[in-house]
Amino acid sequence: AEAMSYLESSVVDKAAESISDTMFGQKEIISGHKLSSFANLFDKIIVDGAVNAIAKIIFFLGDRVRKMQSGLVQNYALIIVFAIAFMIFTLSIKGGLK
């Protein structure tokens, strides 16, 4: 416990002070607790928010694709024909592959 106290008071507080001086140009000291609270908030809102948003998008798209699957080969062939026609149409408008 004594070693952790020394680590917190010497290393973490010095790092926080250095970051504070760099970011704000002031000599105010941000405690390790405040710095870790900010890091925790950033992690929960930004990082976890991004990960959860990506997961929701993937589940949404998976649900939509699952509903389109019928098991009929004729439907899949028709989708392929439309996709090829769309690609030919798009390439003809843009002047082909250059």
- Residues 60, 50: contact at Cβ < 8 Å? no
In order, the DSSP letters of 46-89 are IIHHHHHHHHHHHHHHHHHHHHH----HHHHHHHHHHHHHHHHH
Q: Is 9 inside any structural domain?
A: yes
**3-59 pLDDT per residue, tens:** 666 666 677 677 777 776 666 655 555 567 777 888 889 998 999 999 999 999 999
Q: Is 72 inside any structural domain?
A: no
Q: Is 70 inside any structural domain?
A: no
pTM of the model: 0.45
Both tokens assigned to 87: 């690609």
Q: Is 24 inside any structural domain?
A: yes
* Domains identified in the chain, total number: 1
Q: Is 63 inside any structural domain?
A: no
Q: Which domain holds residue 3?
A: 1-30
